[in-house]
């Protein structure tokens, strides 16, 4: 029950928050009016009116979107300074009618004290207050008294401190902004220099993801023109993870960010399933870049190996060696699709050089070209020999051609594994970088005919055929010219394969980067190969490194178990310090296969009773379908069924891990996957298996 002093403080804060919301609503009304006015200017009747309309509507709509996004928990902090100033901190900046500051944007320099002041270095801050709200109502206050020596005698200090209070709250299906509880080491990473690459490392639960997302919002605030114009790309490990974090940036006042799972980076193609570990290791290897380069430069499937035709009395012939020579000549000028319009002219010139009959020569080259274009056999030949190539179709041909293209790069077992597990329908997550590599290797068809190359306009029937067929095929729809961004944020970066780093590197040649990861949690089995690919993607950009050292997620009891697994999987893992204890140790049960379902239900009953938020059941990939049936009637509103890789970046109040030894056996990175799974729980953890070899080893 709040004390009278606390109730008085709540009422005073609510009165101030009401004032801020009144100004927010007034600003929203102004923005809506500007949208209406801007649309009206489109009726002026001249081009200038349309331009003015578009600019006004765009700016007003963007402001309205930011105001709407910031409405939830708009005011979250207050600083009481030694000089008597009271400074309120919020998701966006708000001024009163006289342009006086009512609310300081959390990204502004004036707000940095909210995160950086400590009891050891108060920097002029006497009291730091966090306001907890539901919509526009203040429901709680948490104070940190940083400078007791300069505190007025009547200053009220409420609560146990904002950070520890936030750690005990139940989790749900969405990551929430932690802008009110950012700590000093996290704030330093958020406000790092924008140029180059900022690398943020730290163990589970240290806040790497939310720090990175807040950094994206901070960069947009400090250099909006650059980052909004060039775009900010946020890449995470899975669509589950992206759904989990998607609310954070809008809640910080930012909507101009592209969020994509690693299987969605290429426009027009979406992959949500991982390949089996053995095939994923082959497809992600740097060796695949060479295989794909060979594929892009080789003749298309079923391409003709020779051509024979006639012009007047002249016999025209191109054998396989002549066609190979023409292929090399064309590819020296550019990628396959870039020289698509030049191919007919190159073939015609070669054939014209074979014309020696005087009667044919007298007619000239123009007559020769006209005659050849009227020859259906010639047109069919050129269409078949040098068609426009689609990257997805080329990717689909890969398994049948691995033997000829990769015999010296991949083992026979690796080739057999890829062929046996190949998805004949939609691509898997590990296929997306291969398709993207092919997009850039084959290039795009120029939008206009290059008249200087002598390509006859009439020889374009195959273009029409390609356009008609395009609607029936899966395609990478966006131009490769649109791939670049001004800033790229990569979460769970330790999992990226060399081919995935190449895919992101193409989008970040001119970008600054934020890279978040922890080597001990890596699912990619060859970290040195991935490190080399990352270095190539970053080029010579300056690197700023930050390490987060405090685990805010796990109880100390849970993290102690995770730390033992981490030491089993990697030499000198980056272990954080867990700051919170629950007094409850993880539970471990070994049962027979017949008892597995019954004991799983019992442990879930325990987890649901002991926690208030979501509970994850994490199972081996091969058992996912089986456990969907087992859990079909169990607390669907609170239970989440996931595989080990799907838990990346997520957290839950309770976690049940089924058959931990199966995670270890699933892949060469199995121990690291188990480390990830064990460190998803904030309050309670249970493991259940028919064996317990993993527990004996740690």
Nearest 10 degrees: Cα torsion 148, 152, 153, 155: -80
Report CA-CA distances (Å) from 465 to 76, 308, 314, 383, 409.
Answer: 60, 24, 31, 10, 36
Q: Given this model, what pLDDT does residue 667 score?
A: 84
Angle, helix 277-284 to helix 432-442, in steps of 10 degrees: 20
Partners of 141 in the β-ladder: 131
pLDDT at 452: 41
Q: Single out the residue of 245, 193, 244 nearest to residue 218, CA to CA.
A: 193
- β-partners of residue 487 are 232, 512
- Angstrom distance (rounded) from CA 107 to CA 89: 9
pLDDT score for 598: 94
Q: Which two tokens stand for residue 10?
A: 């709540």
Rounded CA-CA distance 677/648 in Å is: 8
Of all helices (H) and strands (E), which one includes residue 53?
Answer: helix 47-69
Q: What pLDDT does residue 636 have?
A: 81
At residue 465, the pLDDT reads: 47
**The dihedral sign for the CA sequence 88, 92, 98, 99:** positive
Cα-Cα end-to-end distance for the chain = 45
The DSSP call for residue 586 is P
Instruction: Flag residues of the chain having pLDDT under 50.
Output: 44, 46-48, 50-51, 53, 56-57, 60, 163-164, 167, 178, 180, 449-475
Note whether 68 and 62 are within 8 A (CB): no
Q: In 166-265, where do the E strands start and end?
A: 197-202, 232-236, 257-261
pTM over 0.85: no
- CB-based contacts of 299, cutoff 8 Å, min separation 6: 327, 385
Q: What confidence score (pLDDT) does residue 458 get?
A: 42
Query: Rounded to whole angstroms, how far apart are CA atoms 36 and 681?
Result: 49
Token representation of residue 506: 């193409």
Which of 550, 551, 212, 283 minimizes the C-alpha distance to 438?
283
The pLDDT, as a whole number, for residue 175 is: 52
pLDDT reported for residue 122:
86
Burial of 609 (0-12, 13-18, 19+ CB in 10 A): exposed
């Amino acid at each position: 029950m709040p004390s009278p002093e606390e109730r008085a403080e709540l009422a005073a804060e609510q009165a101030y928050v009401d004032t801020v919301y009144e100004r927010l609503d007034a600003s929203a009304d102004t923005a809506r009016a500007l949208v209406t006015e801007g649309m009206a200017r489109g009726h002026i009747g001249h081009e200038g009116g349309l331009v003015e309309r578009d600019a006004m509507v765009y700016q007003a709509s963007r402001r309205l979107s930011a105001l709407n996004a910031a409405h939830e928990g708009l005011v979250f902090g207050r600083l009481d300074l030694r000089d008597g100033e009271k400074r309120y901190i919020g998701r966006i900046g708000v001024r009163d009618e006289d342009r006086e500051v009512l609310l300081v944007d959390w990204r502004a320099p004036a707000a940095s004290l909210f995160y950086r002041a400590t009891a050891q270095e108060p920097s002029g801050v006497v009291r730091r207050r966090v306001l907890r709200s539901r919509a526009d109502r203040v429901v709680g206050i948490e104070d940190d008294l940083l400078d007791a020596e300069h505190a007025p005698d009547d200053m009220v200090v409420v609560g146990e401190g904002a950070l520890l209070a936030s750690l005990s709250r139940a989790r749900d299906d969405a990551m929430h902004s932690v802008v009110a509880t950012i700590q000093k080491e996290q704030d330093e990473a958020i406000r790092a220099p924008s140029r180059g690459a900022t690398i943020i490392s730290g163990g589970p639960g240290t806040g790497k993801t939310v720090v990175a997302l807040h950094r994206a919002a901070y960069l947009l605030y400090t250099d909006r023109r650059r980052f909004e114009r060039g775009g900010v790309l946020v890449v995470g490990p899975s669509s589950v993870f992206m759904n989990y974090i998607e609310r954070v940036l809008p809640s910080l006042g930012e909507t101009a960010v592209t969020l994509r799972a690693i299987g969605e980076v290429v426009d027009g193609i979406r992959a949500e399933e991982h390949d089996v570990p053995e095939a994923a290791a082959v497809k992600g290897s740097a060796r695949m870049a060479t295989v794909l380069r060979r594929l892009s430069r080789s003749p298309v499937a079923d391409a003709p190996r020779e051509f024979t035709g006639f012009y007047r009395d002249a016999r025209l012939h191109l054998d396989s060696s002549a066609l190979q020579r023409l292929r090399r000549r064309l590819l020296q000028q550019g990628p396959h699709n870039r020289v698509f319009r030049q191919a007919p002219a190159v073939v015609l010139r070669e054939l014209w050089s074979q014309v020696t009959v005087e009667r044919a020569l007298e007619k000239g080259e123009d007559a020769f070209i006209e005659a050849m274009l009227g020859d259906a056999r010639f047109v069919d030949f050129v269409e078949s020999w040098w068609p426009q190539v689609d990257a997805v179709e080329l990717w689909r041909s890969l398994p049948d051609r691995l033997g000829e293209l990769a015999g010296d790069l991949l083992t026979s077992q690796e080739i057999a594994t890829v062929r046996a597990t190949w998805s004949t329908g939609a691509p898997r997550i590990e296929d997306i970088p291969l398709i993207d590599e092919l997009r850039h290797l084959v290039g795009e068809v120029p939008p206009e005919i290059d008249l200087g190359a002598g390509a006859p306009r009439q020889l374009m029937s195959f273009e029409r055929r390609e356009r008609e067929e395009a609607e029936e095929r899966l395609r990478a729809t966006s131009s490769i010219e649109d791939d670049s961004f001004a800033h790229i944020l990569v979460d769970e970066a330790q999992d990226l394969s060399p081919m995935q780093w190449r895919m992101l590197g193409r989008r970040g040649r001119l970008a600054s980067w934020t890279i978040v990861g922890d080597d001990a949690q890596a699912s990619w089995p060859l970290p040195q190969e991935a490190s080399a690919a990352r270095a190539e993607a970053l080029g010579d950009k300056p690197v700023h490194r930050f390490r987060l050292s405090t685990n805010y997620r796990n109880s100390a009891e849970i993290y102690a178990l995770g730390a033992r697994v981490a030491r089993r999987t990697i030499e000198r893992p980056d272990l954080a310090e867990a700051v919170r204890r629950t007094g409850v140790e993880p539970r471990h049960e070994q049962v027979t296969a017949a008892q597995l379902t019954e004991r799983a239900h019992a442990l879930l009953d325990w987890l649901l009773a002991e926690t208030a938020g979501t509970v994850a059941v994490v199972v081996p990939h091969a058992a996912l379908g089986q456990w969907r049936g087992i859990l079909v009637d169990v607390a669907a509103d609170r239970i989440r069924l996931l595989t080990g890789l799907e838990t990346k970046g997520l957290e839950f109040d309770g976690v049940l891990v089924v058959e931990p030894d199966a995670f270890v056996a699933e892949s060469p990175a199995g121990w690291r996957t188990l480390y990830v799974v064990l460190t998803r729980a904030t309050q309670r953890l249970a493991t259940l298996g028919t064996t317990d070899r993993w527990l004996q080893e740690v």
